[in-house]
A and B are shown apart, each in its own frame.
Chain A
């Protein structure tokens, strides 16, 4: 059995189709044949009985008082045989003398009553199978009554129908049926061949086993990927999710995907992308946050027979990448700041050298004292900040500001504990760095540029305040949108404040902006307890 089933799909389909069709046709034919055989016998019975009755009622028989006119009866029965589909007629009178018989020599002979006794005694009408005459036949018996008001039995009519004729008819039918069966089987052969080919073409020529293998492999490959892969139909119903995507979306591995919709997970982001993709098909992407992770979702269209049938979403975890880029940014800015510092010192050294040339030694002392005080004041204000990375960032920013002739004052009440969580510190670095850069840019065209910075704890929140006396911001809501910038051109412009917002949201905080009377104040609040731990219990987070 196992081995029988272990054949190609096409063979299986052919086998089953031909088998079933053959079975149906053969059994139907057998039933039909059986039914019509019965009908032939019934017809023969009916025909002979009807003929026997008719002959028994013929006036020639009824009127002949003693059924004596043999010749007349013989002629009559011969005529009747000729006109009807019966084979022989025998007429006997009550004594058993044969009056009519297919074999003329039998006429006048005596034949005792036997199978025809029931007709002769009880006046019964009935049929029986017999091989008494000529060949096996169906024979009907009918009594002959004479008289009108008073009737009397006067003899018996027997009408026969050869069984061989019935068998011949059955064989005829069998022959016809076999021809039909053969035709249908051949037809079913072609149909199943075509059907098998059709199925094969639908499965791209793969056997079911191969398809299973391909699917299993695909599943394995997709599971092994770090990138999440999802497929949806046009309505957004999820039809496939690999393991990584399930992890990103927070769907348990065993969950039923029926009825899940990507709109539940990506909301308006995906709608925007999909709307756009209708106009210009092809690759598009958006960024989003899923379970504290920064995810880039690449949306591609799925085509079947050149018709849009759905979308493929590739989810790429950008958290590490953005961490890396943050670090790079910081290193880059430190590098910049070092360069600025060295330039600054070169300037001072030139100044001292000049004063030396002019022998104005008091001036030299003044410059040096200035420098020392300046350094000290910076250092003093940073005492409260224990987090070294933030401290380094602030020193670097101060140098940058200094180079640009911008006064960056760190509030001497600033304080911050060191933080162990990498994600938090990275986000904070991004926030602070961008806010200060932004402020430096904002005050670039002001006569007395001044920026003040404060960081500190208040009631379970970490507060970062950056204030500048720049040109201000006209549209306070738009400022956080991606690509918004008041600055002049530039490739990376417009992402700074967007990144700030993203990171603030990531930490579950708030950002507030106030711009009036020549002052712009950015306030960021992060739910962070003193001591560096994120405050998970904060009701506002």
Chain B
């Protein structure tokens, strides 16, 4: 008995030594050892997809990653499908995320929590806009809120890809504070940001809440009209766009996007991406992407991102429990 125990512990010890030798060896020299997969958990054309493809471009053209980078679209369930997919992959798959990775769980739409993944970075933020078709008679944000206050069902509001995302939350938050009965608002839910835009341009809805990156181009070309943003400063492309603050409602709301890896990434792998992303956000190519999309640099490394996610989780939890109950 004694002997077998001794033998066993020796075996264990040697196994640990061998294993640790293997993992440290491979991580230092080999990672990433094959093509890197960037998961965009949405259909092509939305904000997540745009982020993934921009990253692919910049990292490829700057030669930051030796291996090829492929973007994979996994739409569905407000990101759930893509992230569920990521959970089963190895450390060569990364996925774009946003506040939905927190909100989905709080909304009971997903058993996944942000804590199950490895946070790698927050990359950029943008602001959220409320837009109406160009031919709409809604003049500005306050006009819209007044109409909703009078009859919450009077306007159809487009949102995508799911209730509880930042576009939706920020709209509910503003309306709630203005005294609108938010439980009666008529939200039309579309599969992606692209669909929301199409619905608005097609006149299927009266109002849409969506990222500025998604609405700005059409705004500038005159196809729609942005009546409010959650920004804390003017939009450089068109400084005439009014924020909620400009209209007398003290409210700002960043819509951040980040990137995360599958569970249990090693410290070496995390360090690799910290280095890569910190280089990427410094490149001119990335600055151009930010400018083109109306995004702002919001870079945080893996450690800061983790703290940020904890903080956001608390914020969303409070928001959801309070909204609709204030009246």
Contact = CB atoms under 8 A, between A and B. Distances in A.
B189 A150 contact: yes
B182 A121 contact: yes
A395 B310 CA distance: 121
Interface in B162-182: 162-164, 168-169, 172, 182
B2 interface: no
A471 B325 CA distance: 138
A113 B188 contact: no
Given A122-B169, A125-B108, A152-B187, 16 more contacts: A95-B184, A113-B183, A117-B323, A118-B323, A121-B182, A122-B163, A122-B168, A122-B172, A123-B109, A123-B164, A124-B106, A124-B164, A143-B163, A151-B189, A152-B186, A152-B189
A124 B109 contact: yes
Interface of A: 49, 94-96, 113-114, 117-118, 120-126, 143, 145, 147, 149-153
Interface in B129-182: 162-164, 168-169, 172, 182
Nearest to A141: B108
Contact of B324 (A49, A95, A120, A126): A120
B213 to A, nearest CB: 22
7 contacts: A113-B183, A120-B183, A123-B162, A123-B189, A143-B163, A150-B204, A152-B188
B253 interface: no
B176 to A, nearest CB: 9
Contacts of A96: 183
A98 to B, nearest CB: 15
Given A122-B164, A125-B108, A151 B324 contact: no
Contacts of A153: 163, 187
Contacts of B228: none
A124 B316 CA distance: 13
A147 B186 CA distance: 13
A151 B159 CA distance: 10
Interface of B: 106-109, 162-164, 168-169, 172, 182-191, 199, 204, 320-321, 323-325
A49 B107 CA distance: 12
Nearest to B189: A151
Contacts of A123: 107, 109, 162-164, 189
Most A-side CB within 10 Å, residue of B108, B182, B184: B108
B109 A151 contact: no
Contacts of A49: 108
Contacts of A118: 107, 320-321, 323-324
A240 to B, nearest CB: 28
User: Lowest 5 CB-CB distances: which A-B pairs, in order?
Assistant: A125-B108, A123-B163, A117-B324, A124-B107, A126-B108
A284 B168 CA distance: 107
Nearest to B78: A123
A150 B324 contact: no
Contacts of A150: 188-190, 199, 204
Nearest to B162: A123
Contacts of B189: 123, 145, 150-152
Contacts of B182: 121
Contact of A117 (B108, B162, B325): B325
Contacts of B106: 124
B303 to A, nearest CB: 30
Given A122-B172, A122-B320, A94 B183 contact: yes
B107 to A, nearest CB: 4
A49 B182 CA distance: 24
A94 B185 CA distance: 9
A125 B78 CA distance: 14
A151 B191 CA distance: 9
Contacts of A120: 183, 324
A148 to B, nearest CB: 11
A52 to B, nearest CB: 10
Contacts of A126: 107-108
Of the candidates B182, B183, B191, the one having the most CB atoms from chain A within 10 angstroms of its own CB is B183
Given A151-B189, A152-B189, A114 B168 contact: no
A153 B163 CA distance: 10
Nearest to B169: A122
A269 to B, nearest CB: 39
Contacts of B163: 121-124, 143, 153
B109 A125 contact: yes
Nearest to A121: B324
Indicate the member of A49, A114, A124 with the most B CB atoms within 10 Å.
A124
A65 B75 CA distance: 27
Contacts of B107: 118, 122-126
A419 B190 CA distance: 130
Contacts of B187: 152-153
Nearest to B107: A124
A126 B106 CA distance: 8
A117 B323 CA distance: 8
A151 B189 CA distance: 5
A46 to B, nearest CB: 11
B324 A113 contact: yes
A124 B108 CA distance: 6
B190 A122 contact: no
A433 to B, nearest CB: 64
A55 B188 CA distance: 21
A117 B164 contact: no
Contacts of A124: 106-109, 163-164, 320
Nearest to B185: A121
